[in-house]
Amino acid sequence: MTLLKTGPYTGLVTQRRVVGAAVLLFALTLVGPARPLAQAIQRSMYVSVLNEAGAPVPDLGPSDFIVREDNVAREVLRVAPAEAPMQVAVLVDNSAAARDDIADIRRALPEFVDAMTASAAAGRKNELSIIAVGERPTIITDYTPDRAQLQKGIGRIFAQPMSASYLLEGVIEVSRGFKKREAQRPVIVAIATEGPEYSSRHFDLVLRPLHDAGAAFHALVLGSPSSDISDDANNRNVVLAEGTRTTGGRYDNLLASSALPAAMKRVAAELTHQYLVTYARPQSLIPPDRVTVNAARSGMTARGILMKAQQEQGRP
């Protein structure tokens, strides 16, 4: 045991120590804690989880998701049903190549519209538009939650003779429109055929506005894969593959258009049963280049996209 020696200067030393401690405490108060630099911030994603049959999986919680930023795992904080209304652009190939598919397209869309415009939480409804891309992108029905208007638009879908598809132009114009109207949960659902593509747009010029808009891109392609090796066909194929993969969308190739009604039902079920997954990440001056989400259980597939307001900080 060490004893402190007392003497005439003991009180003075004690006072100096108390004053010094007070000054130090005051200085720390002014500077503030260093915590903000290391404090976790929250980010959220819209996520689809499908089982092996392609159906949405209900009743999942935080432990059912694995979120990584640049391959670094992040803590999942909350999981809830995604209830924010969607803005959905349905791009329809009505070029000459789609002539034999138009009947099945018109048969598939009504149930999709009904499912997507059903009443949502707090009375909010999704808005849909129908845009034809044969010959040039043409709005058939502008964004609306009104089923009657959308059904009328479906009835106006006809094949354009002597025309080719301008799908990539349609994606560009819709993406720019989403950004201009500040759509908060934008979605593109494209019904395409294996006919010729005449947009003459490099895939970079299509993917950039798609990502800038923060839109999820889903594509259903009708017919056997084309043997076309032209630049236009290659750019279209890259947009369909990379656009869906990088935005949390699905890419289905349907050999026969008769399979389209069932496929559109699956798309509607996926979109209307998404989760809002919120996770934590440390504050950093350098945003992640890549965000991924996976299902923790085997036999499940997860796809996701960051909320629009957070996409400038990194995309999946």
Where are the domains positioned within the chain?
87-271
pLDDT winner (highest mean) among 9-23, 37-51, 216-230? 216-230
Quick one: tokens of 121?
Answer: 């939480």
Task: Give residue 254's pLDDT band: very low, low, confident or very high (50, 70, 90).
Answer: very high
Q: Is 162 within 8 Å of 195 (Cβ atoms)?
A: no
pLDDT at residue number 27: 45
Q: Where are the alpha helices (DSSP H) in the chain?
A: 10-31, 35-38, 102-116, 147-155, 167-180, 203-213, 231-245, 260-271
Comparing 28-37, 59-68, 196-205, which segment has the lowest mean pLDDT? 28-37
pLDDT at residue number 311: 56
174-211 pLDDT tens trace: 999 999 999 999 999 999 999 999 999 999 999 999 99
Question: Which H or E run includes 218?
Answer: strand 216-222
d(CA 246, CA 292): 10
Give the distance from CA 305 to its chain's centroid.
3
d(CA 89, CA 131): 7
d(CA 239, CA 214): 15
For the entire predicted model, the pTM comes to 0.84
Quick one: tokens of 237?
Answer: 């194929």
Architecture of domain 87-271: 3-Layer(aba) Sandwich (3.40)
pLDDT at residue number 123: 63
Give the distance from CA 181 to its chain's centroid.
17
Percent of the chain's residues with pLDDT above 90:
76
Please count the other Cβ atoms lying within 10 Å of the Cβ belonging to residue 256: 11
The residue-averaged pLDDT of 271-280 equals 97
Q: Is 93 within 8 Å of 192 (Cβ atoms)?
A: yes
Residue 132 bridge partners (DSSP): 92, 138
251, burial (CB in 10 Å: exposed 0-12, middle 13-18, buried 19+): middle
When the pLDDT of each residue in the chain is averaged and rounded to a whole number, the result is 87
Of 99, 116, 112, 72, which Cα lies nearest the Cα of 160? 99
